[in-house]
Structures are given as structure tokens and as C-alpha cells.
Amino acid sequence: MSTAAPALPDRRAPVARWWAGVRKVPVVVWVFLLLPVAVEAFWVFWPAANSFSLSMTRWNGVGAAEPVGVKNYTDLLADPIFQTAVKNNVIWVVGFGGLSVLVGLAMAVLLNRPGRGIGLYRAAIYLPMVFSLTVTGMFWRVLYSPDGPVNASLGLLGLQSWQRQWLADPDVALYAVLVAAVWRQVGYIMVLYLAGLKGVDPSLEEAAAVDGANRWQRFAQIVFPQLRGVNAVVFAVTVIDSLRTFDIVWAMTRGGPYNSTQLLSTYMFEQGFTLVNLGYGSAIAVVIFLLAIAFIITYLVRSARTED
């Protein structure tokens, strides 16, 4: 309904012009807009803002919160479990992101062109994506159980020395959970890259093939540079997802054994809800937010470009 604006220059003050713009929109349309905005403001933006102020207090949920300034943040810096969580989150971003992009992109390139069996291969690879992270975690708990198929397969291959209690061993538990998360993520990354590959100009690759470029050269120098847009999205999505990751760790290890699989999100939940240190938990939540914000903005800028 965006009717063409009158051609006359508007000489009124900005506020008056703004108000005129507001009045031009029918009241019922304002109701249409403000109802959802109010719901989101009340259940998302208002709580988010509250986390910032709560992070400056000590509070166990009973009585009044005691203001402590930035003490929660200075405590965090000295908290060894927090340090473990940060380190694990870095491992998670790199390992989870790197592995799922590597496998997802490889599968997208291999399964891009139609052919016999391609539909089946694709369906098999993105099927895990529809399971919840909780279900994925439960599936892999069965697989990792001491007498489960992972250890049994290693035994069959003669790798008895590799067998272990995957989720109870602090040295490997994080990676065991990571493998399960990657298994579920690959399908999603593949879908994103398959869509990106559709936008790749095939004539360029043909020309390169005629000139004698081999498959790898064609991919690295012709196809991959054209995937820049998808790469940016995958990168932002991966980092945002990594900082949110909670369900699968909680379902498989709850951050244990000995906090070896603690991520920022699980440590925040433990502090905020299990131990009811509401101020301290909020401070961890704020840290997660600050780490995510740059990537959220990247994603928003890209989205704004499509909408403008």
C-alpha cells in the first residue's frame, strides 16, 4: 500500500513530519504491528535488559538483590571452571564449525548434480538434522555406552587400546559430544551449500574444464570464490549456534565429568538454575551475549541488504 509520496518538498519540522507519517497509517494497522512488538518486547527485550542489571548483583532469588558492581565479572576472570568453559567453547567453535563445514561442503559438492541415488544419499545425510539435539544426545549415549557399538567396532578393528568410557573420560568426553553434534549439523550445512552451488555460474566451470583445469582446480579457483555469500552465512550461523549450544551437552554429560565438557551455556545454566546464583549466572549470560553480538550484527547487516 506504499502509495507514492507527494512530490512537494516537505518543509515541516522532522517531528511534525514523523507524526504526519504516523497518522497516515490506519490505527488498526498500528494495532497489528504493536501487538506482536509488545509480546516480543515483554518476553525477549525486557528480560534481556534485566540480565544486564542482574549481573551487577548477588541474588539467590529470595529477598532483595544485593548490588555488587562488577564483582561477578572480576570473579569470573579468576574462576577456573569459567576458564575451562571459555576454552571448551573455543574448541567447540573451531571443531564443530570446521568439521561440519568440511563434511557438509564436501557432500554438497559431491551431491550437487542430479544422478542415480543422489536423492537417497542427500536424504540420509540430512535426516539427523530433524532430530532434536536432546534426541541426538540420547542416541549417542547409547552408541558410546561402555559395551556399545563404538567400542565394539574398535574391538573388531583390533584397536582395543582405543576403547574407553567415552563420556566418562575427561580427556575425550568433549570431543565425543562434538562428534555427535557434527553428525546432526552436517545436513544443515549441506543444504546451505547446495543452495549456494545452484547460484554458481556453470559456464565458467565449463570454460575452465575446456582449458584443462582438473576438478580440484575448478573447485578451488572457480566454484569456491563464488560461494562467498554462503560462507559468510555459514560462519555467522556456526558461531551463533556454538555459543548457544546447550541441549546436546546437557543430555550427554551435563558439563561433566569434572567440568571437562562445560560450555559457557551449560555453566551459565548450572550457576543460574542448579546453584541459584542468579547474579553470577546472569554475568555469564552477558558474556555469551557480548561474544555473540558481533556475529548477530553481521547476520543482520546481510539481512538488511536483502530487505532494502
Partner 1 sequence: MATTPLRQSGRVQRGRRSIEHRRSPWFHVLMIPFTLLWIAPMVFVLVVSLRPFDDLIARGLTALPTTLSLEGFRTALSSGGIAGALRNSLIVTVVAVVLSLFLASLAAFALSRYRIPGRLVILLVMLAGNLLPPQILLIPVAKIAQGLGIYDSLTALIVVQVGFGLGFYTFVLHGFMRALPAEVFEAAVIDGAGPVRIYAQVVLPLTRPALAALTALATTWIFNDLIFAMTVLRTETKFPITAALLNLQGGFVSQWNVVAAGSIIAAIPTAFVFFIFQKQFVSGLLVGTNK
> 185 to 204, contacts with partner 1 by CB under 8 A?
188, 191-192, 195-196, 198-199, 202
Helix (H) or strand (E) holding 127: none
Residue 224 binds partner 1 (CB under 8 A): no
> CB of residue 87 vs partner 1: minimum separation in angstroms?
18
Count other Cβ atoms within 10 Å, centred on residue 87.
Answer: 12
Angle, CA 135 vertex, CA 157 and CA 261 arms, to 5° = 70
Count other Cβ atoms within 10 Å, centred on residue 125.
Answer: 20
Taking the least distance from each CB to partner 1, the nearer of 45 and 162 is 45
Residue 102 binds partner 1 (CB under 8 A): no
Residue 91 binds partner 1 (CB under 8 A): no
The C-alpha cell at 163 is: 576403547
Is 208 in contact with 264 (CB distance < 8 Å)? no
Taking the least distance from each CB to partner 1, the nearer of 172 and 236 is 236
> CB of residue 51 vs partner 1: minimum separation in angstroms?
5
Residue 272 binds partner 1 (CB under 8 A): yes
Residue 243 binds partner 1 (CB under 8 A): yes
3-state helix, strand, coil in the chain (%, to 5): 75, 0, 25
Residue 305 binds partner 1 (CB under 8 A): yes
> With contacts defined by CB under 8 A, how many residues of the chain interact with partner 1?
105
Scanning 68-76, 81-89, 119-127, 165-173 for contacts with partner 1 by CB under 8 A, the matching segment is 119-127
Rg of the chain, C-alpha, whole Å: 25
For the chain, what's the residue count?
308
Residue 270 binds partner 1 (CB under 8 A): no
First-last CA distance in the chain: 17
> CB of residue 174 vs partner 1: minimum separation in angstroms?
19
The C-alpha cell at 4 is: 507514492
Within residues 17-56, the interface with partner 1 by CB under 8 A covers 18, 21-22, 24-26, 28-30, 32-33, 35-37, 39-40, 42-48, 50-51, 54
| Separation between Cα atoms, residue 278 and residue 280, nearest integer Å | 6
| Separation between Cα atoms, residue 295 and residue 99, nearest integer Å | 20
Is 111 in contact with 121 (CB distance < 8 Å)? yes
Chain Cα centroid distance, residue 223: 26
Taking the least distance from each CB to partner 1, the nearer of 174 and 251 is 251
Q: Which of 9, 63, 69, 117 contacts partner 1 by CB under 8 A?
A: 117
Nearest to 65 by CA among 289, 283, 264: 283
Residue 2 binds partner 1 (CB under 8 A): yes
User: One symbol per residue from 245 to 264: x for binding partner 1 (CB under 8 A), - otherwise; what is it?
Assistant: -xx--xx------------x
> CB of residue 28 vs partner 1: minimum separation in angstroms?
5
Within residues 148-187, the interface with partner 1 by CB under 8 A covers 148-149, 152, 183
